Structure 1
């Protein structure tokens, strides 16, 4: 049996890549500073799409590259950049991708991280267009207030291993349970990196949550995550619990067409397609709670939206979740509580539904979205109230009762 990789070491264990990229521009990640952006700006590091190569593309500064590439250093020091995470939380692993930089990648890198309070951050100058430039003395002075050189090391100085674009990913496992808001990527001494992926789970301060304000308990930014699914041929289910509205079908969960569809489709008396199967995705909520409102958005899915859907919830301990995953989430039917019955969906439209949950004691820890027969969904929102109910006694009522604003069930 292979040994579990040590923290900060190169690893082939890449299960963490199924988590959200907390630094990606699509979730609000932002480059605050880079020592040098001569050939290509550091903003490329956090692009959501995979890096590309244009063989005959050049700029006035040299070869066009889809990544962060600094000039060949001829002064003391090394190059580094600081990134503010779009999703703050626990980092599980890094991917330092040096695709297309064979011959120009840095020999070594290290990664540091910090947990900084937003109201304590200094004013950082806007970066603007960076290609062909280096950081100014004013920019160095502003970023120095963060004291990023003193941040915690999640990856010590480590050699990078180049390869073909499909084998140029350098994965690093992280065991830290601390919450992080910023990372610093150091390259030694200079060179090019295509992408930096910071995989992990969001973490919300639930103590500061307004008990009268419903929260999206399945938001990936707060710590929710997909723990199982039937099919993700065109897009992972984690996409549908992402930040903001979907920008395209690529930003949603889309399955392949089911091969067990009847040769000629028919509907029942209620207008639902008569098909033998369905696709599903299971999510662990960011916090156990009561779901009051469900939003299912099929925006951008105009010719490939599901015919119908349903949502169920259940209460699982950590051990029960692990066992359920091993059984491909084939739980007893009685374990699931209906939150939304089988409901018709329309293409390219946001659908709002009241949850079937009528009592505060109907707390869930996991939710399952089922779609029939197949297709794509851009967003899933499960708005409700976090609960302090102990998972070992799931039917016990908490002493705290919530007041609900207009638009939700008026009585709990």
Structure 2
């Protein structure tokens, strides 16, 4: 059992699939876009390109001119940064020895020439260098000064750094000194977005500030994935549990076709704000032979946060939002009239039975004005 806590591993990712590379000084061996990939880095031995060894990360050429390499990343979501994970996987004799991170909150982003879909073997053009001056990025706030990294062996590839800042940022500048490779960059924190109280929004979305507080099982994929704003790209981008070992040898169903099973898996989410629910969506996209049989969604209004352990979760008097309903493979399920209670709620509990995977959950509603 794991619970979201103050450890960096459990902070919310604010670099989602909507993050993008705005500028990079050099992409010779591997383009900077690889930094943002959601999947784990891989290594392909004996695979070479016209530019050198193929690597799954951002790798610049060996610098032979004054200066150092750097790139600008637009965060997928504006937020307060609490920590970094710099993964140097497979970069052993060619990893970045030192790096730093700067950040800015830009209300208006200067225009930049578009990067091509594949920047490998290229460097920033003179036009790009001229345009990027408008960002004035060398003067951005330093949120992590020059710090050493370790090589990409299994025992040293993961480099974690806490960040002590309460400011909201929209862009970061990753400086590498002087050159080399990094496989992945993960930025964790809390989303800070402006919400219109009169609009129906996705109350649980990470885009608006929703956060996973606890879960029973995340063997193949973390439940925080299901509140990402963008569609799931594959099964690994959803929440998938292990197969429960208490499954009956022979399965039986009730009169509604829902399997009778002794156990289930669950995840608890804090909504972006206290809200009243209008309708729901449950998406099992990509889950075809491993979707849950049924799902149940419950809610509660708690104005002061609690310790989200199993005992406390079981003591809560949850209200039924959506009674158990049968799910289908690789399908978007929508619920409106099926909603039993609209709230207001501060937290929701999503229960799947007996196990399996879902890609996204949307909980639509309006902010509750007390």
Pair 136,270 (structure 1): closer, same or farther in 2 beyond 3 Å: closer
Deviation of residue 175 (structure 1)? Answer: 2.6
Instruction: Give the match for residue 332 of structure 1.
Output: 315
1:395 corresponds to which residue? none
For each residue in 1:218-256, what CA deviation from the matched residue of structure 2 results, as whole angstroms up to 9, or x when unmatched?
A: 001111111111111111111111122222222211111
1:77 equivalenced with 2:55 (yes/no)? no
**Closer, same or farther: CA 328–45 of 1 in aligned 2, 3 Å:** farther
Q: What is the alpha-carbon distance in structure 1 between the residues aligned to residue 70 and residue 79 of structure 2?
A: 22
What 5-or-longer segments of structure 2 have no aligned partner?
none
Q: Residues 143, 328 of structure 1: CA spacing in aligned structure 2 closer, same or farther, 3 A cutoff?
A: farther
Deviation at 1:107, TM superposition (A): 1.8
Q: Is the 8 A contact 2:21 2:71 kept in 1?
A: yes
Rate the CA distance shift 1:168–1:368 in 2: closer, same or farther, 3 A: same
**Residue equivalent to 1:124:** 112
CA contact (8 A) 1:201 1:224 kept: no
Shift of 1:18: 3.1
In the TM superposition, structure 1's runs of 4+ consecutive aligned residues that sit over 4 Å from their partners are none
2:160 pairs with 1:171: yes
Confirm whether residue 379 of structure 1 aligns to residue 363 of structure 2: no
- CA positional deviation for 1:41: 1.2
Q: Structure 1 stretch 79-88 or stretch 157-166: which is displaced more?
A: 157-166
State the TM-score, normalized to the length of structure 1.
0.84
Structure with higher Rg: it is: 1
Task: Tell me the residue number matched to 1:244.
Answer: 230
Cα distance per residue 1:247-289 (max 9 Å; x no partner): 2222211111111111111112232211111111100111111
Residue 53 in 1 paired to residue 43 in 2? yes
> Does the CA-based 8 Å contact 1:99-1:166 persist in structure 2?
no
Instruction: Give 1:291's match in structure 2, choosing from 277, 299, 302.
Output: 277
| SS of residue in 1 equivalent to 2:34 | helix
Shift of 1:318: 4.1
Question: How big is each residue's C-alpha offset from its partner over 1:189-215, in whole Å with a ceiling of 9 and x where there is no partner?
Answer: 111111111122322102xx150x310
2:16 maps to 1:30? no
Render the CA deviation track for 1:136-188: whole Å, top value 9, x for unaligned. 22111111101111111111111112251353111111132221111100011
Shift of 1:72: 1.4
Quote the residue 2:192 is aligned against: 203
Residue of 3, 18, 21 corresponding to 2:10: 18
Asked whether the 8 Å contact 1:260–1:276 carries over to 2, the reply is yes
| Aligned-pair CA distance for 1:316 | 2.2
Matches within 5 A, 1:294-305: 294-305=280-291
Deviation of residue 34 (structure 1)? 0.8
Helix, strand or coil: the match of 2:352?
strand
Task: Determine if contact 1:261/1:275 at 8 Å carries over to the other structure.
Answer: yes
Query: Hey, what's the Cα distance between the residues in 2 that align with 1:326 and 1:256?
Result: 20
Contact 2:36 2:185 in 1 (8 A): yes
Question: What are the within-5 Å matches in structure 2 for residues 61-210 of structure 1?
Answer: 61-117=51-107, 120-128=108-116, 129-206=118-195, 209=196
Name the CA distance, whole Å, in 2 between partners of 1:144 and 1:219.
34
Q: Distance in 2 between matches of 1:126 and 1:188?
A: 25
User: Do 1:36 and 1:133's aligned partners in 2 also have CA atoms closer than 8 Å?
Assistant: yes
**Partner Cα separation in structure 2 for residue 340 and residue 243 of structure 1:** 22
* 2:264 is aligned with 1:275: no
Whether the aligned pair in 1 keeps the contact of 2:197 and 2:367 (CA below 8 Å) is no
Residue correspondence of structure 1 range 285-364 to structure 2 within 5 A: 285-320=271-306, 322=307, 325-333=308-316, 335-354=317-336, 355-358=339-342, 362-364=343-345
Aligned mates of 1:274, 1:314 — CA distance in 2: 26
CA contact (8 A) 1:295 1:351 kept: yes
Structure 1 residues 318 and 170: CA distance shift in structure 2, 3 A: farther
Q: Residues 201 and 221 of structure 1 are in contact (CA less than 8 Å); yes or no, is this contact kept in structure 2? A: no
What is the TM-score with the length of structure 2 in the denominator? 0.93
Greater percentage in strand: 2
Label 1:385 to 1:50 Cα distance change in 2 as closer, same or farther (>3 A): same
Report the Cα distance in structure 2 between the residues aligned to 1:220 and 1:72, rounded to whole angstroms: 39
